């Protein structure tokens, strides 16, 4: 039950898709499930919903084995975006190894994005995680819709923070795998510093990311 168990030779990673209500977190996971190869990927588990709104979380697990025999499980969770489910968000965010913040690109949603990001900062602090050290990417979703904030504007706002920014349309299926891949890269870099995945387990960053993001042939 620890992140890295030398005896059992396994490692469990937790990635969390965070963001305001209806920004497309579940849709991101659905697309990942559809787009990525079945190899090493578990089934998407959607816990009970009401009116198609997440009330607990969704879980998409991945499993891979490093050349050294180290078993690595990557569990990707979504949180419920609605304000009232804050207790659930805290529980899901606990022990996260990386966060993808899914923002809604529409102009009218700027306020909700900021509120949710503030909530993320607050809840990370609550569960004892440092937002400055945690791997974090931001996806501006729903680029297929009209009346979205211009890409240059978003980039000029967010890129100075050093947080990777990815444009996406989960509905159309683009930008989704890139978001996941970018987060995986950051998580690997973070882990490699502590556990030397490359040196001790023969798993390179490129290989790690590629194993997680192999597209389905179907």
The reply on whether position 174 binds another protein by CB under 8 A is no
Q: Which residues of 183-204 are buried (b: 16+ CB within 10 A; e: fewer)?
A: bbbbbbebbbeebebbeebebe
Q: Please give the C-alpha separations between residue 188 and each of 45, 96, 195, 197, 207, in angstroms, as whole numbers.
A: 24, 14, 10, 8, 10
For residue 212 the two structure tokens come to 């997680």
Interface with another protein includes 94 (CB under 8 A)? yes
Nearest to another protein of 126, 161 (CB atom): 126
Q: Residue 107 contacts by C-beta under 8 Å, 6 or more apart in sequence?
A: 147, 148, 149
**Which of residues 9, 22, 35, 88 is near another protein by CB under 8 A?**
88
CA end-to-end span of the chain: 35
Cβ within 8 Å of residue 19, ≥6 positions away: 25, 81, 101, 102, 103, 104, 113, 116
Our CB check for another protein shows the closer of 3 and 178 to be 3
Stretch that binds another protein, among 23-31, 38-46, 140-148, 170-178 (CB under 8 A): 38-46
Site for another protein in 107-126 (CB under 8 A): none
Q: Which of 63, 117, 158, 174 binds another protein (CB under 8 A)?
A: 63
Binding segment toward another protein, per CB under 8 A, in 17-25, 70-78, 161-169, 198-206: 70-78
Among 1, 7, 217, 218, binds another protein (CB under 8 A): 1
Helices (H), 79-204: 86-93, 110-126, 151-158, 176-195, 197-201
Size of the site for another protein (CB under 8 A): 32
Report the nearest approach of another protein to the CB of residue 214 (Å): 13
* Residue 82 binds another protein (CB under 8 A): no
Give one word for 13, left, alpha or beta, with left for phi > 0 and alpha for psi -120 to 50. Answer: beta
87 is a site residue for another protein (CB under 8 A)? yes
Nearest distance from C-beta of residue 15 to another protein, angstroms? 12
User: Residue 171 corresponds to which tokens in the numbers above?
Assistant: 């509905």
Q: Which of 34, 43, 144, 151 binds another protein (CB under 8 A)?
A: 43
**SS3 assignment, position 71:** strand
Q: What residues line the site for another protein (CB under 8 A)?
A: 1-4, 6, 10, 12, 14, 40-43, 45, 47-48, 56-57, 59, 61-63, 71, 73, 75, 77, 87-88, 90-92, 94-95
């Amino acid at each position: 039950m620890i992140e890295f168990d030398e005896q059992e030779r396994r490692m469990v990673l937790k990635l969390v898709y965070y963001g305001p209500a209806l920004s497309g977190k579940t849709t991101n996971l659905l697309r990942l499930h559809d787009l990525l190869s079945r190899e090493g990927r578990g089934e998407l588990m959607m816990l009970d919903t009401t009116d198609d709104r997440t009330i607990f979380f969704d879980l998409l697990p991945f499993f891979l084995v490093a050349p050294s025999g180290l078993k690595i499980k990557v569990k990707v969770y979504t949180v419920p975006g609605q304000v009232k489910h804050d207790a659930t968000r805290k529980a899901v965010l606990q022990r996260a190894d990386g966060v993808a913040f899914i923002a809604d690109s529409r102009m009218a949603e700027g306020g909700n994005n900021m509120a949710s990001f503030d909530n993320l900062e607050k809840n990370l602090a609550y569960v004892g995680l440092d937002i400055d050290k945690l791997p974090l990417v931001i996806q501006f979703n729903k680029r297929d819709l009209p009346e979205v904030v211009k890409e240059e504007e978003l980039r000029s706002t967010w890129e100075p923070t050093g947080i990777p920014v990815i444009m996406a349309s989960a509905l159309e299926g683009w930008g989704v795998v890139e978001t996941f891949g970018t987060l995986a890269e950051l998580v690997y870099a973070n882990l490699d510093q502590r556990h030397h995945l490359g040196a001790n387990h023969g798993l390179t960053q490129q290989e790690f990311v590629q194993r997680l993001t192999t597209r389905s042939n179907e």
